[in-house]
Chain A
């Protein structure tokens, strides 16, 4: 069993969001970088659990990024990845990134490819689907449960107002949502072992970008809260009905 887990580097969830260069670039000043939470907590940890259940399983990690992504890749290795591939390229658009991962995936011949359901920076939720199309594999998105029996995966995915369970034969691309696994913290043994695990750097393949960011912006600030006395709940209900017109 060979599993490929796609990991992206994103700003920490508490990072202050600001832009530079006339609002065309994300201001990385003082930003702490983490593994995209969906990639780490759910996709990677579920892969590790599968490996714990079957020692013959191998987990490869793939990241598209510069050398500044190495610390988060080492962390993913410390958690339990066996080997990492970093494609040395700037993060263009989703199509470019998916093209790079597809090239890695074709070479590695994986049975299972996990991504997070989306990154917390660009919120594109596109890489898994694009990758699946490039590899001509089925794709199951927003998985909240993943079980494997031989070469058949049983996957529960979120749908509007419920959940749907489906079966699919490997190979398959799956995007992971909350529920698929529980977040872990790397232990000392893992951190020590990660130092000597292979982190192979590859140059990107030729690929296009289909979209570009023209500009960024921040949402307008709220005008300020209108406080209502706790003894006057009727007034709040009146405001919601007559002023905000939402109930």
Chain B
């Protein structure tokens, strides 16, 4: 018996979301009194043994170059092979882009109930029940899984990475790897920016900024805080910012430590995508903006005056610290 954690990588490097998944999976293993094992696919340049410090004891590696890019069908087959060979009873992955493709396929392949987007450890006192967000963050549900094997995909930024001591034993796992049917022809990386779903701080702008030419200060503030930039739906729809920056119910749902909303009124659809942020700061000149009700800190004021002052103030603080 074991908890098997799918550890995913991009361009040979382990993703941050996977470190969360390892910590989470290791804690489930402790709770169940079983071992925490990992599976890594493709050719990885990162040192896998050091992942032991997040709690994984053994890592099964399938270093086949056919696994360097994601084809969910090929991945699911290999992960299911490892799960069966190691007698895994709980499978854990991140509910990130890869997890969303692979976990549902594994659910069918292993006939294992799937909880997609878990936000807390499972309750294993009486069965196996996991809390997840539903209604786009407006509510949560406790989902009970009744199958022998359980699959839990962890919502990104929902579980704190814990690093301790330890080295993982890395073993090669041998199985047939099918040729991928999905061929990746191009990868476009937004250079130098922090990925939105992995960012700990997000600076977001709305219609109150009046036009795309005014995003300079948003980007400057974001850079200063090592933050990702985001926007509200009207801004993306107007083409001021790319669609992949749109956060909200019909865009991307995020849960950073700090969300700074500038010139966003806070419509219910927007709040749904960001209300899991641990701290929310709202800067808006309309004191009746609904966003203030969902915020932890707020400034009623003109963004064009407040944001430059904020940049100066943070520079001062960082300089003095």
Residues of chain A touching chain B, judged by Cβ–Cβ distance below 8 Å, are 11, 13-14, 17, 19, 37-38, 41, 93-95, 98, 117, 120-130, 132-134, 136-142, 144, 154, 157-169, 178-179, 210-219, 222-223, 225-230, 233-234, 236-241, 244, 246-247
Query: 8 Å CB contacts to A: which residues of B262-321?
Result: 268-269, 272, 275-276, 278-282, 292-302, 305-306, 309-310, 313-314, 316-317
Smallest CB-CB A-B distances: 3 pairs: A129-B104, A230-B301, A161-B195
B186 near A164: Cβ-Cβ < 8 Å? yes
Chain A residue at smallest Cβ distance from B256 = A246
A142 near B96: Cβ-Cβ < 8 Å? no
Q: Which of B115, B181, B313 contacts A233 (CB 8 A)?
A: B313
* Residues of chain B within 8 A of A141, CB atoms compared: 72, 97, 100-101
A160 near B198: Cβ-Cβ < 8 Å? yes
Q: Which of A179, A213, A237 contacts B143 (CB 8 A)?
A: A213
Chain A residue at smallest Cβ distance from B228 = A161
Interchain Cβ contacts within 8 Å, total number = 280
* Residues of chain B within 8 A of A163, CB atoms compared: 187-188, 244
**Complex: A212 Cα to B294 Cα, angstroms:** 31
Stretch from B28-36, B127-135, B158-166 that touches the partner: B127-135
A166 near B185: Cβ-Cβ < 8 Å? yes
B190 near A130: Cβ-Cβ < 8 Å? no
A236 near B299: Cβ-Cβ < 8 Å? yes
B1 CB–A CB distance under 8 Å: no
Given known pairs A139-B105, A144-B243, A217-B139, the reply for A95 and B113 (CB within 8 Å) is yes
* Residues of chain B within 8 A of A38, CB atoms compared: 250
Given known pairs A160-B198, A210-B145, the reply for A98 and B309 (CB within 8 Å) is no
B210 CB–A CB distance under 8 Å: no
B51 CB–A CB distance under 8 Å: no
B97 near A158: Cβ-Cβ < 8 Å? yes
A219 near B140: Cβ-Cβ < 8 Å? yes
* Residues of chain A within 8 A of B136, CB atoms compared: 120-121, 123
Q: Which of A158, A160, A211 contacts B15 (CB 8 A)?
A: A160
Q: Which of A98, A140, A142 contacts B182 (CB 8 A)?
A: A140
A139 near B201: Cβ-Cβ < 8 Å? no
Residues of chain B touching chain A, judged by Cβ–Cβ distance below 8 Å, are 10, 15, 17, 69, 71-73, 76, 95-97, 100-105, 107-109, 111-117, 129, 132-147, 181-190, 193-198, 201, 225, 236, 243-244, 246, 249-251, 253, 257-258, 268-269, 272, 275-276, 278-282, 292-302, 305-306, 309-310, 313-314, 316-317
Name 16 A/B residue pairs within 8 A (Cβ), A-sorted: A95-B108, A121-B134, A128-B104, A133-B105, A133-B109, A139-B72, A160-B17, A160-B97, A167-B185, A178-B251, A212-B146, A215-B142, A217-B140, A222-B295, A233-B309, A234-B313
* Residues of chain B within 8 A of A121, CB atoms compared: 134-136
| Max chain A C-beta neighbours (<10 A), residue from B109, B142, B195, B269 | B142
Q: Which of A134, A222, A237 contacts B313 (CB 8 A)?
A: A237
Q: Which of B97, B104, B194, B302 contacts A142 (CB 8 A)?
A: B97
Chain B residue at smallest Cβ distance from A165 = B186
* Residues of chain A within 8 A of B309, CB atoms compared: 233
Nearest CB on B from A186, distance (A): 19
Given known pairs A13-B249, A161-B198, A162-B188, the reply for A244 and B296 (CB within 8 Å) is yes
Q: Which of A17, A162, A210 contacts B147 (CB 8 A)?
A: A210
Nearest CB on B from A225, distance (A): 4
| Max chain A C-beta neighbours (<10 A), residue from B107, B115, B129, B184 | B107
A225 near B296: Cβ-Cβ < 8 Å? yes
Nearest CB on A from B160, distance (A): 14
* Residues of chain A within 8 A of B198, CB atoms compared: 160-161
**Complex: A123 Cα to B252 Cα, angstroms:** 12
B243 near A246: Cβ-Cβ < 8 Å? no
B73 near A162: Cβ-Cβ < 8 Å? no
**Complex: A229 Cα to B309 Cα, angstroms:** 12
Given known pairs A138-B73, A161-B194, the reply for A228 and B108 (CB within 8 Å) is no
Nearest CB on B from A229, distance (A): 8
B181 near A120: Cβ-Cβ < 8 Å? no
A179 near B243: Cβ-Cβ < 8 Å? yes
* Residues of chain A within 8 A of B269, CB atoms compared: 13-14
Chain B residue at smallest Cβ distance from A167 = B183
| Max chain A C-beta neighbours (<10 A), residue from B71, B139, B189, B201 | B139
* Residues of chain B within 8 A of A239, CB atoms compared: 297
**Complex: A246 Cα to B31 Cα, angstroms:** 30
Given known pairs A94-B114, A158-B97, A165-B186, the reply for A139 and B73 (CB within 8 Å) is yes
* Residues of chain B within 8 A of A19, CB atoms compared: 139
Q: Which of A161, A225, A244 contacts B293 (CB 8 A)?
A: A225
B102 near A129: Cβ-Cβ < 8 Å? yes
Given known pairs A160-B10, A244-B279, the reply for A168 and B15 (CB within 8 Å) is no
* Residues of chain A within 8 A of B133, CB atoms compared: 123
* Residues of chain A within 8 A of B243, CB atoms compared: 144, 178-179
Chain B residue at smallest Cβ distance from A164 = B187
B103 near A129: Cβ-Cβ < 8 Å? yes
Nearest CB on A from B235, distance (A): 13
* Residues of chain B within 8 A of A117, CB atoms compared: 100
Nearest CB on A from B10, distance (A): 7
